[in-house]
Amino acid sequence: ADQTYDYDVLVIGAGPGGYVAAIRAAQLGLKTACVESRETLGGTCLNVGCIPSKALLHASELLDEAQNGHMATWGITANATLDLGVMMAEKVKAVGELTGGIEFLFKKNKVTWIKGRAAFQDAHTVKVGDDTITAKDIVIATGSSVTPLPGVEVDNAAGQIVDSTGALELSEVPEHLVVIGGGVIGLELGSVWRRLGAKVTVVEFLDMLLPGMDTDVRKEAGKIFKKQGMDIRLKSKVTGATVNGKKVSLTVEPAAGGDAETIEASHVLVSIGRRPNVDGLNLEAIGLELNKRGQIDTEHDFRTKVDGVWAIGDVIPGPMLAHKAEDEGIAVAENIAGQTGIVNHAVIPGVVYTMPEFADVGMTEEEAKEAGHQVKVGKFPMMANSRAKANRDTDGFVKVIADAETDRVLGVHIVASLAGTMIAEAALAMEFGATSEDIAYTCHAHPTHAEALKEAAMAVQGKPIHM
């Protein structure tokens, strides 16, 4: 270690970006510490994000299968009832095991956890409470938090107007949950509470759900969530909320302006996006400026404009996803250690964990065309996939977009019960620069949902077998 500093590497934030960066830095022989202000490690993802939301999605899906006919299709009847307290306790257990697991990994790899909030004094020095800590390299991995909506004040403790954190720990099933924002959080947590018995209304500003995804996927999402009983109000915005005892009155206006209407809700979820966490870091002290979106810009190796200061995860541009943050965590540590750490930002899968799941990697058809590609598209419906048919879960399709000239795969979009698992194969193929023909001629086990990807790739060539 360089004796001039307390540590070789100091990471600020112990989310998927920060904890992974710290562990990899330590693995590479660097003396490493990680500052985290939460009581537990793991950041947004483990504490109030990916993990508790997936626990509740899984649990609520079990109830839905029992109550809403899927099991009955198979001649299985169950008198399923809900004990919300038990469900929440099991979720807390899952979270605790995973955050505890990171603490164990820190000990195992000799990463020092410094508890508290870090603020820069200079490019090699931070203050945490009364302590001053120095490091040769500092990684900012402070993540993001909920974007507030003016006029709709979130109060998670009161439990009526909540953000995602509050929606993961409601003490009762809402009678009527209004979700503001038809993006990933709104649809995942809206699905949880719908399955548990709430009436759910989704108010979305744009003309389709799931912005950023392929138009075919977004159209399918609209149909599927409507079929599942969600009331979806597109091209609408909420401009105010008033709490009257147990009710919340929401003022909803057409996005383009016009007459307002009032919707009465028992609970409201604000999920209109997230924004980078930079408050209190004292970036002024090191002269680090933010971009127009409030993010920290970096070079491709995650170096900021300030020597010795690096940044990764939700606080920098790119999709706000845990696996993107993790890969950047590994890369930044390797770069600090003098190796070459790279993240291919063109191949980062995204998954919405509803039923069915919505997953994508690479470019949408619109993006591919905008980028100047002539495209060939192959689509295969899950309805024609034998395993989906056998399982009676035939919602969705696989769409493969390839360059018309080179046949190289540019993007894959999947709606299917197992889309989140299936997309990994597409990501691997794209990472290896595969053509659609490569996928079409790869032997896939039968009967699996994954065969639908092979058939969609065959469809790019105009020759699927089962359609």
Residue 114 in 3-state DSSP?
Answer: strand
Structural tokens at position 171: 């003490």
Task: Encode burial over 155-168: b for 16+ CB neighbours within 10 A, e otherwise.
Answer: ebeeebbbbbbbbb
Which 272-331 residues touch ligand FAD, going by CB under 6 A?
277, 280-281, 313-314, 320-323, 325
Q: Is 322 labeled as ligand-binding?
A: yes
Which residue carries 């997230």 as its tokens? 274
What is the torsional sign of CA 452, 453, 454, 455? positive
Q: With contact defined as beta carbons under 8 Å apart, do 331 and 302 qualify?
A: yes
What is d(CA 467, CA 453) in angstroms, rounded to the nearest whole number? 13
446 is catalytic: yes
Q: Quote the least distance from Cβ 301 to ligand FAD, whole Å.
A: 17
Which partner from the list ligand NAI, ligand FAD, none does 277 bind, CB cut-off 5 to 8 Å by kind? ligand FAD
Q: With contact defined as beta carbons under 8 Å apart, do 43 and 66 qualify?
A: no
Residue 430 in 3-state DSSP?
Answer: helix
Which residue carries 């799931």 as its tokens? 210
Structural tokens at position 295: 């993010």
Stretch that binds ligand FAD, among 11-19, 70-78, 366-374, 408-416 (CB under 6 A): 11-19
Residue 35 touching ligand FAD (CB under 6 A): yes
Q: Is 142 labeled as ligand-binding?
A: yes
Beta carbon nearer to ligand NAI, 341 or 350? 350
Name the helix (H) or strand (E) containing 309: strand 309-311
CA 133 to the chain's CA centroid: 32
Pairing of strands 267-270, 176-180: parallel
CA 423 to the chain's CA centroid: 14
Residue 310 in 3-state DSSP?
Answer: strand
Does 447 sit behind a cis peptide bond, omega within 30 degrees of 0 on the bond before it?
Answer: yes
What is d(CA 70, CA 82) in angstroms, rounded to the nearest whole number? 17
Query: CA angle at residue 172 from 46 to 101, to 5 degrees?
Result: 15
Which partner from the list ligand FAD, ligand NAI, none does 271 bind, CB cut-off 5 to 8 Å by kind? ligand NAI
Q: Is 71 labeled as ligand-binding?
A: no
Which 332-361 residues touch ligand FAD, going by CB under 6 A?
353
Q: Is 137 labeled as ligand-binding?
A: no
Residue 273 touching ligand NAI (CB under 6 A): yes
Residue 13 touching ligand FAD (CB under 6 A): yes
Which partner from the list ligand NAI, ligand FAD, none does 276 bind, CB cut-off 5 to 8 Å by kind? none
Q: With contact defined as beta carbons under 8 Å apart, do 193 and 177 qualify?
A: yes
Which partner from the list ligand FAD, ligand NAI, none does 273 bind, CB cut-off 5 to 8 Å by kind? ligand NAI
Beta carbon nearer to ligand FAD, 114 or 429? 114
Name the helix (H) or strand (E) containing 106: helix 84-108
Which partner from the list ligand NAI, ligand FAD, none does 13 bind, CB cut-off 5 to 8 Å by kind? ligand FAD
Which partner from the list ligand NAI, ligand FAD, none does 349 bind, CB cut-off 5 to 8 Å by kind? none
Which partner from the list ligand NAI, ligand FAD, none does 303 bind, CB cut-off 5 to 8 Å by kind? none
Q: Quote the least distance from Cβ 322 to ligand NAI, whole Å.
A: 7
By CB under 6 A, name the one of 118, 252, 347, 452 that touches ligand FAD. 118
Beta carbon nearer to ligand FAD, 113 or 205? 113
What is d(CA 243, CA 266) in angstroms, rounded to the nearest whole number? 9
H helices, E strands: number in the chain? 14, 22
The DSSP letter of residue 158 is T
Residue 52 touching ligand NAI (CB under 6 A): no
Alpha helices in 264-377 (DSSP H): 322-336, 365-370
What is d(CA 32, CA 11) in angstroms, rounded to the nearest whole number? 8
Residue 211 touching ligand NAI (CB under 6 A): yes
By CB under 6 A, name the one of 63, 105, 206, 337 that touches ligand NAI. 206
Active-site annotation holder among 267, 446, 449, 466: 446
Stretch that binds ligand FAD, among 38-46, 240-248, 292-300, 458-466 (CB under 6 A): 38-46
Residue 37 touching ligand FAD (CB under 6 A): yes
Which partner from the list ligand FAD, ligand NAI, none does 306 bind, CB cut-off 5 to 8 Å by kind? none
By CB under 6 A, name the one of 42, 186, 362, 381 that touches ligand NAI. 186
Q: State the residue number with the nearest CB to ligand NAI.
A: 183
Work out the number of other CB atoms within 10 angstroms of the CB of residue 236.
22
Which 143-172 residues touch ligand NAI, going by CB under 6 A?
149
What is d(CA 8, CA 12) in angstroms, rounded to the nearest whole number? 13
Query: Binding site membership: which residues?
Result: 54, 142-144, 181-188, 204, 273, 314, 320-323
Query: Binding site membership for NAD(+): which residues?
Result: 181-188, 204, 273
| Binding residues for ligand NAI (CB under 6 A) | 149, 180-186, 188, 203-206, 211, 237-238, 271-274, 319-321, 350-353
Q: Provide the annotated active-site residues.
A: 446
| Binding residues for ligand FAD (CB under 6 A) | 12-18, 35-38, 43-45, 49-50, 53, 117-118, 141-144, 164, 185, 277, 280-281, 313-314, 320-323, 325, 353
